[in-house]
Amino acid sequence: MLKEFADYITYTLLKLESTGHLGEALNFFIYDTLKIFLLLTTIVFGVAIIRAYFPPEKTKRILSHKREYLGNIMAALLGIVTPFCSCSAVPLFIGFVEAGVPLGVTFSFLISSPMVNEIALIMLWGLFGWKIALIYTGTGVVLAIVSGIIIGRLKMEKYVQDYVWEIKAGTGEIVETTFRDKLVYARDYTAELLKRIWPYVIIGIALGGIVHGYIPTDFVVKYAGRDNPFAVLVAVLIGIPLYSNAAGMIPVVQALVGKGMAMGTVLAFMMSVTAISFPEAVILKNVLKMRLIYTFFGIVAVGVIIVGYLFNAIL
């Protein structure tokens, strides 16, 4: 139905040639914009209701004094449903550590929560299909579990800023909410999120349209295709400074895939965009010493690169 609507606008109403660059690019743009915003609105609302049941306070209580393995697994899974914003990373980190959540388990949460988020999932699902979205989720969770276990094993507690260990936090009682409150929360959450990301999505889809209509396939295949062994590495490096624009990245990447970019490279790139970011490093400096920040980013970056090569080999 969306396809027919996009066809109607471009080819019937505007009378553009369906074989021309402009017609193709515009058709692509209208169709994708409608699809993405439809998906975003409905699914973010649904996810927000689930999120309302998992405030960070509850997650903290569940993870408190959990052991290695089980703790890491639960932290990575709870990371999917617990709302997270890098602006709150510091109080969250202190709260977790203070409540007796082991350092490695805390990191499993800190890695999974921003990486496996609903925006990335919806965009991947809408533009690449549910299989890729599921692979992204599964790999992201495994990466968070393994990285957390490694950081836990490295016994890096001494690289947490000293004052963190001295803080005695309040109990942080959970604010009781009714189902009605949760619906209001979901509505406000959806509205706020759309308001924040819509320009990136539009720009991303427009750029994707341009790539789709104008960039030659040989060019993409040569630089981002399966046969370029450095593609994954470069994609991960480019992804590190790109942060809040995750929503805008996926449409561009989708167009590149249409032109021959390899799927493993795409997954590695997306994970790098969402899981590793400079602003987060700056924020985390409040609670972590540089050595731990480097270790954290290093482990995740290596993991993401492995994911990229792995899926380039099997997909």
Partner 1 sequence: MEIKVLGPGCANCHKMEELATQAVKELGINANIEKITDIARIAMHGILSTPGLIINGKIKHSGKPLPSLEKVKEMIKAEAV
69 versus 185: smaller Cβ distance to partner 1: 185
54 versus 69: smaller Cβ distance to partner 1: 54
Q: What are phi and psi of 288, to 5 degrees?
A: -120, 145
Contacts of 5 (CB under 8 A, 6+ apart): 30, 31, 34
Site for partner 1 in 45-84 (CB under 8 A): 55-57, 60, 83-84
179 is an interface residue for partner 1 by CB under 8 A? no
185 versus 243: smaller Cβ distance to partner 1: 185
6 versus 48: smaller Cβ distance to partner 1: 48
The residue written with tokens 């046969």 in the block is: 227
Return d(Cα 26, Cα 42) in angstroms, integer.
25
Least distance in Å: CB of 123 to partner 1?
21
Torsion of CA 36, 40, 41, 47, to 10 degrees: 160
14 versus 169: smaller Cβ distance to partner 1: 169
* Residue of 286, 289, 302, 310 interacting with partner 1 (CB under 8 A): 286
* Residue of 69, 172, 263, 293 interacting with partner 1 (CB under 8 A): 172
Question: CA-CA distances (angstroms) from residue 96 to 61, 75, 140, 294?
Answer: 9, 11, 21, 21
188 is an interface residue for partner 1 by CB under 8 A? yes
90 is an interface residue for partner 1 by CB under 8 A? yes
185 is an interface residue for partner 1 by CB under 8 A? yes
First-to-final CA distance of the chain:
30
**Residue ranges in 116-245 assigned as alpha helix (H):** 118-128, 130-153, 162-166, 179-214, 217-224, 231-239
Q: Which stretch binds partner 1 (CB under 8 A): 85-93, 232-240, 246-254, 274-282?
A: 85-93
Binning the chain into helix, strand and coil, the percentages to the nearest 5 are 75, 0, 20
251 is an interface residue for partner 1 by CB under 8 A? no
The C-alpha R_g of the chain, in whole angstroms, comes to 21
* Residue of 173, 216, 230, 314 interacting with partner 1 (CB under 8 A): 173
10 Å CB burial of residue 11 (0-12, 13-18, 19+) is: middle
15 versus 180: smaller Cβ distance to partner 1: 180
DSSP string over 209-271: HHHHHHS-HHHHHHHHSTT-TTHHHHHHHHHTT--TTHHHHHHHHHHHHHTT--HHHHHHHHH
92 is an interface residue for partner 1 by CB under 8 A? yes
Least distance in Å: CB of 75 to partner 1?
14
170 versus 216: smaller Cβ distance to partner 1: 170
Q: Contact letters (x/-) for partner 1, 9-48, by CB under 8 A?
A: ----------------------------------------
**Which residues are near partner 1 by CB under 8 A?**
55-57, 60, 83-85, 87-88, 90-92, 94-95, 98, 163-164, 167-173, 175, 184-185, 188-189, 191-192, 286
